[in-house]
Amino acid sequence: MTRLLAPGSAACIALALMAGPALADDPEASPSTNAPAAAGPETIVPNATTTIDPNVKEPVCRRYIPTGSRIATQRCEMPKDTLSAKEQASRDVMRQDIADMRTQQQMRDQARAAAMAEALSRRAR
């Protein structure tokens, strides 16, 4: 006595997937005809070996949109291992400016919080 499978059961779906290409009208869809032919030992080509250098840096590409233009261009530059004295000074100045802006923002936030606490304490009196 065989048991019938429910249409939504996993076993029914698996059978449909396995038998689907064999039952189709298209002979190209048959798994036996789509299998690649076994390559003989004379046609096997060894893979080329490549070495990956962990110190090589990828080019840095950035989109550049000129002022007043809608046309963006992409500029790619190779990163340098060392910075010149001018570039290092410029980077240091920019880092110091960013640190100063962060400090100013923190001072403003602290002043705002202190003012709100003072206003709440006055209201509570």
Question: For the whole model, what pTM was predicted?
Answer: 0.38
Q: What is the rounded CA–CA span in Å between residue 20 and residue 77?
A: 53
| Span 7-22, pLDDT tens digits | 556 666 666 666 665 5
| Span 42-62, pLDDT tens digits | 777 777 777 777 777 788 889
State yes or no: pLDDT of 97 exceeds 90.
yes
CB atoms within 10 A of CB 30: 13
DSSP of 44-93 = --PPPP----TTPPPPEEEEE--TT----EEEEEPPPSS--HHHHHHHHH
Q: What is the rounded CA–CA span in Å between residue 82 and residue 94?
A: 18
